[in-house]
Amino acid sequence: MTEIRPLSEHTGVEIAGVDVRRLEEDGFRSIYAAWLEYGVAVVRNQTLEIGDFIAYSRRFGHVVPHPSRSTRHADHPEVTVLGVGKFDADGTLNEEIYRRGAASWHTDGAYDEVPFKATQLYALAVPSRGGDTHFSSMYRAWDALPERLKAKIEGRRGAFTYGGGKRGSDALLNPEDRGHAPVFHPLVRTHPETGRQSLYFDPGKIVRVEGMAPAESDALIDELEERMVVADARYDHRWRVGDIVIWDNRCMVHRAAGDYPPEEDRIHWRTSIKERDTGARVAGD
């Protein structure tokens, strides 16, 4: 029997008693509804082939290749393989791969005209310690902003690009895929399915705030970064082999801990998911 258990007051829900390979539509609808409510859904104890993982990802939307071509699966380019190749040929630790996703809190796909709806990971190998992934609700971030700051950003758009923010990096992109012009997204976003408002912000991808002088824009970006994670909005996920975790990029931010023993494996399959009705360009493709 399917069991659905919230993992914190605002963020994260755990689903037990299911095999996603055999999940019927009614069961999936209950998982999807819980995911919409809590922003992050954890399904434990799965045993998947890569085709199973892709098929389950497609139940949430349209699966698209990530712009980092070098980390795409050789036979299934819609899947990114995280955590492999972290040592260079001379044995030097490649920090871009080892600490991928750990530089700052972020949302996936803000650099694209149509950002990613969701991201899903499946754990193939986990370290003996560390390697957690942290999540936080941007609904709560918006709710907690002072009224003067809400008034300042309502109606404003941010300019976003891959690696464009002060904490960003485009080192994982092929040279020909770098340097795309920024795209613009509202800093206050209304979720298309829940109707709730959230802060939409990524310090690693935002270049500037539209319509502001550079100094004012930089000051606003700094303040939003300080306020984007609210204490009661967090869920910290400790990985186990066989975990599937999917999060809603429309209302969540996340960050890898980047603290596990580098000699140990931390390997995941990842899919990037968009709304089904979009044919928008994926940056880098």
Domain holding 104: CATH number?
3.60.130.10
Q: Quick one: pLDDT at residue 195?
A: 98
Q: Is residue 283 part of a domain?
A: no
Q: pLDDT, tens digit, for every residue of 53-89?
A: 999 999 999 999 987 778 899 999 999 999 998 899 8
Q: pLDDT, tens digit, for every residue of 152-189?
A: 999 999 999 986 666 555 555 545 545 568 899 999 99
Q: Is residue 201 part of a domain?
A: yes
Mean pLDDT on 275-281: 59
Mean pLDDT on 109-132: 96
Q: How far apart are CA 251 and CA 205, in angstroms?
A: 16
Q: Is residue 285 part of a domain?
A: no
Q: Is residue 282 part of a domain?
A: no
Q: Quick one: pLDDT at residue 94?
A: 87
**94 or 38, higher pLDDT:** 38
DSSP reduced 3-state for 112: coil
Q: Quick one: pLDDT at residue 95?
A: 86
Mean pLDDT on 133-142: 98
Given a contact cutoff of 8 angstroms between Cβ atoms, the answer to whether 249 and 106 are in contact is no
Q: Quick one: pLDDT at residue 180?
A: 67
Residue 84 burial (CB count, 10 A): 14
Q: How far apart are CA 99 and CA 269, in angstroms?
A: 16
Q: Is residue 82 part of a domain?
A: yes
Confidence of residue 231 (pLDDT cuts 50, 70, 90): very high
pTM of the model: 0.90
The b-or-e profile of 220-233 (16+ CB within 10 A means b, else e) is bbeebbebbbbeeb
Q: What are the distances in angstroms from CA 43 to CA 12, 119, 242?
A: 11, 14, 8
Q: How far apart are CA 80 and CA 228, in angstroms?
A: 27
Q: For all residues of the chain together, what is the average pLDDT?
A: 91
Q: Is residue 280 part of a domain?
A: no
Q: How far apart are CA 234 and CA 232, in angstroms?
A: 6
Residues 6 or more apart in contact with residue 50 via CB below 8 angstroms: 73, 76, 79, 269
**Total domain count, the chain:** 1
- 25, burial (CB in 10 Å: exposed 0-12, middle 13-18, buried 19+): exposed
Tokens of 51: 């085709």
Model confidence at 283: pLDDT above 80: no
Model confidence at 285: pLDDT above 50: no
Q: Quick one: pLDDT at residue 15?
A: 96
Range of the domain at 10: 3-274
Q: Quick one: pLDDT at residue 164?
A: 65
Confidence of residue 98 (pLDDT cuts 50, 70, 90): confident
Q: Quick one: pLDDT at residue 61?
A: 97
Scanning the structure block, which residue is given the tokens 């999936």?
28
Q: Quick one: pLDDT at residue 66?
A: 82
Tokens of 260: 């596990």
Tokens of 5: 């258990």
- 212, burial (CB in 10 Å: exposed 0-12, middle 13-18, buried 19+): middle
Which residues of 24-180 form beta strands (DSSP E)?
40-43, 62-64, 79-82, 118-125, 133-137, 157-160
Q: How far apart are CA 110 and CA 148, in angstroms?
A: 25
